[in-house]
Amino acid sequence: MILVTGGAGFIGANFVLDWLANNNEPVINLDKLTYAGNLNNLASLQGDARHIFVQGDIGDTALLAQLLAQHQPRAVINFAAESHVDRSIHGPEDFIQTNMVGTFRLLEAVRHYWQALPTDNKAAFRFVHVSTDEVYGSLSKEAPPFTEEHTYEPNSPYSASKAASDHLVRAWHHTYGLPVLTTNCSNNYGPYHFPEKLIPLMIVNALAGKPLPVYGDGMQVRDWLYVKDHCSAIRRVLDAGQLGETYNVGGWNEKPNIDIVNTVCALLDELRPRPDGQSYTSQITYVQDRPGHDRRYAIDARKIERELGWKPAETFDTGIRKTVAWYLENAEWVANVQTGAYRDWVNKQYATQGAT
């Protein structure tokens, strides 16, 4: 059995779904169910005995101790995090509490649990911490991509809080011997992405006839990673990663934001044309750039390929087509997220039985 934190969010939910599609090892799924945590993401697992959901906070030390003692997981995979840069600019305290204090409390609970395990179980145990390329800061146009040795230079409250959590994970390994592994990924995209991030926001706004807001000149460059490729990388790191090591996970897809928006518009023009026959690109609107906006991220993912044999299965062309198609096919999910109806669904489902 494994314990997944943040397993009702975008990447965490995809990981849980892929995990149970690939093997029968049960998952304890701990999620606080903030605005981006959505049990509708996991609706296909309803009634599946392999999936045990618990609503709770990684900062709740007593709950963590109880779950670890009761379920005796062989691994913990930590996705739990506040992750939206714009939200971190307007309200940084939640990011400090979840990403720093929450990670600290999770590490401490796991350390005490791990230290009490029998020798064989102790040796086999793993703690996988899922982080971001944003901890490395911003790259110039000509600079080589981020490697695992790149200096941390976070530029937003979000990336600073994630950098701090990475340092805590490293310290718990070097100080206490906790068997940790860290992954730093590039921008994810795919199914179940909350529509505040670039790709789902463009899809949702385009279909609603709203402006497609592009920061600054739209030439901020990101490396795009299909979420299911990210999930397979994490499984591979859990299986074969060297303790204490960091693995960068990227899609080898560096593209300016405006190219992403134009690609989404072209796919929508093909798959769901506007009634007036115009291109969705006519809805593109340039807006003032956000404070401290990093110009370029790029991941060098050669280490994980060289040492663990992992590389992405999707190109950007195949992944973005699957993503746009998913949003077109799941209009009810999108509507529930936008209206907050998914929260009503959670309350209805768990009102009588509790979040278990």
Report angle CA 320, 324, 327 to the nearest 5 degrees: 140
Which phi and psi (to 5°) does residue 192 adopt? 70, 20
153 is catalytic: no
Adjacency order of strands within the sheet including 254-256: 187-189, 221-226, 254-256
Residue 22's CB is within 10 A of a number of other CB atoms, namely 11
93 is catalytic: no
Cα separation, 334 vs 156, in Å, equals: 28
245 is catalytic: no
Where does residue 226 fall: left (phi above 0), alpha (psi -120 to 50 degrees), or beta otherwise? beta
Question: Which listed residue (133, 229, 300, 314) is catalytic?
Answer: 133
Residue 281's CB is within 10 A of a number of other CB atoms, namely 15
CA distances from 3 to 19, 168, 214, 331 (A): 12, 19, 38, 31
**Is 181 in a helix, a strand, or coil?**
strand
Report angle CA 169, 170, 173 to the nearest 5 degrees: 90
Question: Which listed residue (134, 223, 294, 314) is catalytic?
Answer: 134
Cα separation, 305 vs 295, in Å, equals: 26
Cα separation, 229 vs 128, in Å, equals: 16
**Is 2 in a helix, a strand, or coil?**
strand
Question: Which listed residue (158, 189, 280, 297) is catalytic?
Answer: 158
Q: With contact defined as beta carbons under 8 Å apart, do 19 and 228 qualify? A: no
Catalytic residues: 133-134, 158
